[in-house]
Amino acid sequence: MLRPEAGTTADPLLALANYRSELGAWCDASPETLALATSPTPDYDDRVDHLRRFMGELYDAGWSRYGWPTGVGGLGGTIIHRATMWEVLATRGVPGMALFEHLEVLAPTLVHHGPTDFIAQVLPDFLSGRKVWSQGFSEPGSGSDLASVRTTATTVDDGYTVTGHKIWTSWSKYASWCLVLARTGSADSRHRGLTALVVDLESPGVDVRPITQANGTDELAEVFFDEVYVPSRRMLAGPGDGWRVAMHILSHERGTLAWFKHLFFYHHLHGCTDFADTRHDSALGNAFLDLTAVTAAAHKGLIAHADGDPLGPHAAFTKLLLCESEQATNDWILAVDPDLAGGIQTDEVALRRQEYLFSRIVTVYGGSQQMQLDTIAKQILQLP
């Protein structure tokens, strides 16, 4: 069990050092669930199950509660504690965050904009892996242009009924809750007519249909809502504040999430060095330089969020760097391990193939590369 002083000494740097040291020692004691979470498991359902069980042990021992406010079930601290936890896990062989990426995409916004009593009820289940979340933003014909969302939320007694169709909703197959961006204003109100609502995916009128991706996994899904009731207490911010909520989410998805994700790319690079040779030096150098650029930019974003400063449009720059690093890392892995494209598929090779194929789409999700470049040009560089 976590010692109380691990994250709570008067000196915050010492507290963080204690936290890192004691979490590392706990991992080195080799809990069975960590061994499962780090084992090569091509079957995605099994991989999700292993990681959920491991997150349950992290929660029970207290580790995953640091970095979250005490009023909603956390043990205090900042995003730096959460970044430290995943850094330690990456060094112990955990291959990625998978469906728990949403802990760093959705949960900060839930805490910031959600009703405290409701968030205190649901966040512990999220941290422990008992209940998973998904994000209902994109729609057919409404991807990067969030202001054109057509899913509607109609006012009823003490709540709303949601009707519409979301697509590319990561991990909805496994999720209990979905944060949905819905239109409460007229179609021509664009971003001013949106509201953010938390939908129980077990409610009547919800239909979740998994989408099998080219890499063989089905982490994505489309979700249909047919007059699904959502009580007002599950609204984030207020009526018509959906755009503000969405921008807060995207600041994390496009910004600080880069720190958490890129930690695992270093691990993937290291995992293939044993069978590389000098022919691949250029590809390795490109990947390593791209990763160090992400390290610098993402660390700056972490510090900003820890100080309460939103990244705003600068998150677009960090996302571009992350996309480049993910593709460069997988390009190098393909160069040194051509069995990814064919041949015998061991569990390790099958996983690398899944990661390589997924890396081809990273310039599209969370706002396309073109949208990020447009944001940088107009809002950072002030170009006409």
The answer for residues whose C-beta is within 8 angstroms of residue 313's C-beta and 6 or more apart is 375, 376, 379, 380
For position 199, what pLDDT does the model report? Answer: 98
Structure tokens at 158: 């003490």
**Topology classification of domain 243-380:** Butyryl-CoA Dehydrogenase, subunit A; domain 3 (1.20.140)
Residue with tokens 């994250």: 7
Nearest to 126 by CA among 178, 50, 195: 178
Residue labelled with tokens 């060094």: 91
pLDDT, one tens digit per residue, over 199-210 is 999 999 999 999
Cβ atoms of 53 and 47 closer than 8 Å:
no
Domain ranges of the chain: 4-94, 134-240, 243-380
Within 13 Å of residue 288, how many CA atoms lie on the same side as its CB?
Answer: 9
Which of 331, 330, 325, 313 lies closest to 373, judged by CA? 313
CA distances from 357 to 45, 323, 340 (A): 18, 13, 10
| Contact criterion met (CB below 8 Å) for 183 and 152 | yes
What confidence score (pLDDT) does residue 343 get?
Answer: 65
Residues with pLDDT less than 70, the chain: 1-10, 143, 343-344
Question: Which amino acid appears at position 250 of this protein?
Answer: L
pTM over cut 0.95: no
Beta strands in 167-268 (DSSP E): 177-183, 194-200, 206-211, 220-231, 235-236
- How many angstroms separate the CA atoms of 384 and 152, rounded? 34
Residue-level pLDDT at 222:
97
- In the CATH scheme, what is the code of domain 134-240? 2.40.110.10
Give first-to-last CA distance, the chain, whole Å: 57
- How many residues are listed for the chain in this entry? 384
Phi first, then psi: give them for residue 61, nearest 5 degrees: -80, -10
Q: For Cα atoms 180, 182, 188, give the angle at the middle one, nearest 5 degrees.
A: 155
